Structure 1
Amino acid sequence: MKKICVIGLGYIGLPTALLFATNGYDVVGVDINTEIVEKVNRKIIPFEEDGLKDLLVEAVDSHQFRASTTPKNADVFVVAVPTPFDKENRMADMSYVIAATRSIVKFLKKDNLVILESTVPPGACEKCIALILEGSGLKVIDDFYIAHCPERAIPGNTLYEMVNNDRMVGGMDIRSSELAKELYESFVVGDIHVTSIRTAEMIKLMENTYRDINIALANEFAQIAEEAGVNVWDAIKLANKHPRVNILKPGPGVGGHCIAVDPWFLTEDSTKSRIITLAREINDGMPVYVMHIVKDMLKDIKKPSVTIFGVAYKADVGDTRETPALKFIRLAEKEGFRIRVYDPYVSDGKFEYPVLFMDDAISDSDCVVVLTDHSEFESLPTDMIGDLMRTRRIVDTRDCIDHEQWRKSGFEVRVLGC
C-alpha cells in the first residue's frame, strides 16, 4: 500500500498527509477549498503550526505530495474532516464526514483501506461509513477494509504529538486493524494499541469528556471559592499536592475543536449521561458568570468601553474555534458595552470581530478582560497601558497576570475565583 489519499487539509488532515508523504508514501491531499489547495501546492501553509512549513516544503519538493480538489485512486483513503456540533439538536453534525466518504465511493477498489480520523459517535463507522462505502458494490471485510484511528494532538504541538503520542487503532476486523497499524507505524514513535472499532470511537470521546468534566469541577470550585472568600488558584495548587488529585484550571469557558464539542457525541444516544450534560452546561455558562463580574466592576460607568485580551481558545496559539471569548463579547455588546479586541496570536480577519494593535485596543478603555493566558500577558507594560486607558480596571479569568504589578500601577484587579 503505497498510495494514500487524505480527504481534508485542515489542522489534522494536512499534518497527517505530510507525515505520510515524508515517510515513504505517495500522497494526494484533497480539500474542497480551492484557496487551500492552491496555497499548499505553492508550499504556503494555510495555518500556523510549528514545523509544518518545513514538512510541506520537503513533501512537495520530493514530489511525494500534491493537493487536489478531488480524490484520486489510492490504496488507502484517510478521512480527516471536521465533525461540528449541531447546537440545536445537541448531536454530531456528520455532514462533512458523510460528504467526504461519499466522495471516495467511485474510487474505491478491492483491498483498499479506508481510515476515519474524524471524531464520531460510537457506532458511526459501522452504521454510517460502511453503508456509504458499500454503495460502491464492494462489501466491507470481504472486499475492502475500514479502521478508525482518532487523532490526539493539540494546536501548537501537533506534529510532535502525532509522532510521539500513543495511537488507538480500531478495525472492522483483525485484518483492518493490522493494515492500519502498519500504516501508522511508518511515522508514529509512540505505541499503537489495537482495539475494536467502536472502542476506538469511544476512547477519543472519553478522553475529552474527562477533561471537560474536570474543568467544569474547577469552574464550580471557582464560584464556590468566591462565595467563601478563598483564592481558588491557591487552593487548587495545594490540593494537587495530593498524589491522587489532579484538578485542572478554571477559566471563562472551554473552547477548541474537541473538548467543547466531543462530550455531546456521547449524550445523543444515551440516557446515562447526566454528569456529562451538566459539565457542558457549567462550562458553557462561564462567559455569563464572567460577564457578571465585569458588570459589577463597571456598574458606575454608563456605556463602558471594554478591551478583550485574548480571543484564542488556549494559550500561545491563534486558534479561535469554539472560543468562549466570542460568547462573552456578544453578551457584552447586548449590555451596551463597546468592545475592542487584542490578541498577539490572532490576525485581523481571522476572528468575527476586528483584532487591533494593543495601543488601539486599550485607548480610552474602562476595563481590560483577560480571556486567554498568552505568555505575553504575564509581563505587560502596566504603567503605559494605564496611561492610555480612561479608568484602570482589569479582570483576570486565567490567573495569568502579575496582580501586584497591576495594582502598583493603580489598577483595580478582579480575579476569577477569588
Structure 2
Amino acid sequence: MNDFKNICMVGLGYIGLPTAVVFALRGVDVIGLDVNARAVETINQGKTHIVEPGLDDALRRTVQAGRLRATTTPEPADAFLIAVPTPFLSEGEGHDPDLSYVKSAALAIAPVLKKGDLVILESTSPVGATEQMAAWLSAARPDLTFPQDAGEDSDIRVAHCPERILPGHALTELVTNDRIIGGMTEACSTRARKLYKLAVEGDCIETDCRTAEMAKLTENSFRDVNIAFANELSLICDRQNINVWELIRLANRHPRVNILQPGPGVGGHCIAVDPWFIVSQSPEEARIIRAAREINDNKPEWVLAKVHQAVAEHAAKGGAPARIACFGLAFKPNIDDLRESPALSIATRLVQTYPGQVDIVEPYIESLPAQLEGKTQLLRPSVAAETCDIIVLLVDHDDFKSMPAPRNSTVIDTRGVWVGHDAVTPAAAPAKAEPVEAAVKELQPA
C-alpha cells in the first residue's frame, strides 16, 4: 500500500527530472522544486530542458495526467528527494567538496517539514554529508526531532540513496538498477526503502548512510582507476608505436581481462569528481585513487600536445594557417551533457591558443557554451571534414561512427573510432619507436 500521498523532487536536472518522471509514471504525485524559473516553466509545459532518450514523451504524459508539476516555491510533501550539485569547493584550487547546494536545499524545505516526513539525499556526497544535512534541518526546525537526537523515534526520517544511472539510459536504469539505501537509523532505511519500491524493480538494499555514501564513491573510483589504466596504456603505446585499440582488443581475448577504452580524459558529474572526495577525506591512504585521478586529469594535456605537433607540421609545409575541427564537446557519446567534459576543456584551450582557426562539431547542442560563444562556430560533420586540416575526434558519438574517416586531413582520433583497427596516424604516433636492443643491452653476455 502506498502511504506517500506525494513526494517532492528537489533539483530537476539530469538526475532529478528523470527520477521525478519515473515516480510520476508509477502513479505517485510529484512536486518538482528547482531554483531555475525557466526550467520550471518549461517542465510545466510538458517539455524537457535536457537531452535524455524517452524523457520528452514520458514527461509530457505525466504533466498532462496531472501527476507532475514544477515550482520554485517549497511545498509540503510526504517525502523529499534532494538531487542537487556537489561540486568542488574552490575550482582550480583544490578538490574539497562544496555542500552549499545541499545546505540551500535543506534550508528551503525545512519550513514545510512535518512529523512523519522522509528526507533523502541522492546527491553524490562525501562521507558524513547526510548527517550534516540532518544537522542543518534540525537547526532550522528545533520543534521537530531528527535521527541524530531521537534515534529510531525521530519525527523526521533521513537517509542517503545515491543515484547510479548511465546518462542516455536514465529511465530504464532508474527502474531496473539495484539501489543502496542508507538510513541514519533502521527505521529511516525501512521508510526510504518503502518509497523506492514504488518505482524500482531492482533490489533495494538497506545499510547505514555512511556506507551508502562511500559505496557510490567507491563505484566511481573503481571505474576511474580502470580508465586510468587504459589511458596510461595509450601513452605507453604511443611511445612504442603500437595501436592501443588493437592491443586492447587482443588482450581482452584473455578470459579474465577486460581493459576499458582510452580517451581524451574523464568527464561527467561523477567519475571525474567523486574519487577526489575520497582523497580529500583520506589523503594519506588513497594513493592509487589519487594517481588515477591525476592520470585522467592530465590526459587532455597529451591530446593538446598532439594537436600542437600537427599544427607545427602543417605550418612547416607553408600556406594558410591550419584549420582545426573538434568533433564533440560532451563528456560521453550521444548526450548533450558538458559537465566536467575533457572534450570541452580541450576545445576551449585550442580556441584560446589558435583564435579564428578552430571549428566545433557537436550534434547534440544547438548553441555554444558561454566560454566558446563568439569565438568559434558550430559546423556540420561533413563540412568540417571537407574544410579543416586537422580533425580532433574527442567524443565517439554515433553520428561520427557512421561517417567515413576524413581522408584529406590529419586525424587525431582519441576514441579509436576511425583508427581503432588501422595503422596509427602520423599525428598520433612518434616517428620512430625506441629500439628493443637498447632496453636489453645489459642482459647480453660479456
Structure 2 length as normaliser, TM-score? Answer: 0.86
Match of 1:282 in 2: 295
| Counterparts in 2 of 1:334 and 1:28: CA distance versus 1, 3 Å | closer
Out of 118, 123, 134, the position equivalent to 1:118 is 123
Q: What is the alpha-carbon distance in structure 1 between the residues aligned to residue 146 and residue 252 of structure 2?
A: 48
Match of 1:235 in 2: 247
Out of 198, 207, 211, the position equivalent to 1:199 is 211
Match of 1:64 in 2: 67
The residue type paired with residue 413 of structure 2 is: D
SS of equivalent residue, structure 1 residue 328 = helix
Percent of matched pairs sharing the same residue: 44
| Counterparts in 2 of 1:121 and 1:364: CA distance versus 1, 3 Å | same
The residue type paired with residue 10 of structure 1 is: G
Q: What is the alpha-carbon distance in structure 1 between the residues aligned to residue 101 and residue 397 of structure 2?
A: 32
| Counterparts in 2 of 1:50 and 1:333: CA distance versus 1, 3 Å | closer
Aligned partners of 1:45 and 1:53 also within 8 Å: yes
SS of equivalent residue, structure 2 residue 392 = strand
| Alpha-carbon offset, residue 344 of structure 1 | 1.6
| Alpha-carbon offset, residue 402 of structure 1 | 5.5
Q: Is it true that 1:345 corresponds to 2:401 in the alignment? A: no
SS of equivalent residue, structure 2 residue 7 = strand
* Equivalenced residues, count: 407
Aligned partners of 1:288 and 1:331 also within 8 Å: no
Q: What's the RMSD between the two structures over aligned residues?
A: 2.2
Match of 2:280 in 1: 268
Match of 2:17 in 1: 14
Out of 238, 260, 280, the position equivalent to 1:248 is 260
Q: Is it true that 1:139 corresponds to 2:145 in the alignment? A: yes
Q: What is the alpha-carbon distance in structure 2 between the residues aligned to residue 416 and residue 221 of structure 1?
A: 13
SS of equivalent residue, structure 1 residue 91 = coil
Q: What is the alpha-carbon distance in structure 2 between the residues aligned to residue 332 and residue 45 of structure 1?
A: 32
Aligned positions of 1:253-402 closer than 5 A: 253-270=265-282, 271-302=284-315, 303-336=321-354, 338-350=357-369, 352-353=371-372, 354-358=377-381, 361-362=384-385, 364-382=387-405, 392-401=409-418
The residue type paired with residue 201 of structure 1 is: E
Aligned partners of 1:9 and 1:31 also within 8 Å: yes
Q: What is the alpha-carbon distance in structure 1 between the residues aligned to residue 345 and residue 21 of structure 2?
A: 35
| Alpha-carbon offset, residue 379 of structure 1 | 3.4
1:37-76, Cα deviation, whole Å (9 max, x unpaired): 1011110111121121222122112212111001100111
The residue type paired with residue 131 of structure 1 is: A
Structure 1 length as normaliser, TM-score? Answer: 0.92
Match of 2:440 in 1: none
Aligned partners of 1:163 and 1:188 also within 8 Å: yes
SS of equivalent residue, structure 1 residue 298 = helix
* Worse-matched range after superposition: 116-125 or 23-32: 23-32
* Worse-matched range after superposition: 135-144 or 115-124: 135-144
Give the greater-gyration-radius structure (CA). Answer: 2
Q: What is the alpha-carbon distance in structure 1 between the residues aligned to residue 368 and residue 158 of structure 2?
A: 39
Q: What is the alpha-carbon distance in structure 2 between the residues aligned to residue 412 and residue 248 of structure 1?
A: 21
Q: What is the alpha-carbon distance in structure 2 between the residues aligned to residue 164 and residue 336 of structure 1?
A: 46
* Worse-matched range after superposition: 267-276 or 106-115: 267-276
SS of equivalent residue, structure 2 residue 23 = helix
1:140-188, Cα deviation, whole Å (9 max, x unpaired): 1321110111001121110111111111000011111111111111111
SS of equivalent residue, structure 1 residue 285 = helix
SS of equivalent residue, structure 2 residue 229 = helix
The residue type paired with residue 61 of structure 1 is: Q
Q: Is it true that 1:181 corresponds to 2:184 in the alignment? A: no
| Alpha-carbon offset, residue 359 of structure 1 | 5.0
Q: What is the alpha-carbon distance in structure 1 between the residues aligned to residue 85 and residue 181 of structure 2?
A: 19
| Counterparts in 2 of 1:222 and 1:17: CA distance versus 1, 3 Å | same
Q: What is the alpha-carbon distance in structure 1 between the residues aligned to residue 412 and residue 370 of structure 2?
A: 22
| Alpha-carbon offset, residue 89 of structure 1 | 2.5
Q: What is the alpha-carbon distance in structure 2 between the residues aligned to residue 217 and residue 300 of structure 1?
A: 30
* Worse-matched range after superposition: 263-272 or 156-165: 263-272
Q: What is the alpha-carbon distance in structure 1 between the residues aligned to residue 136 and residue 330 of structure 2?
A: 36
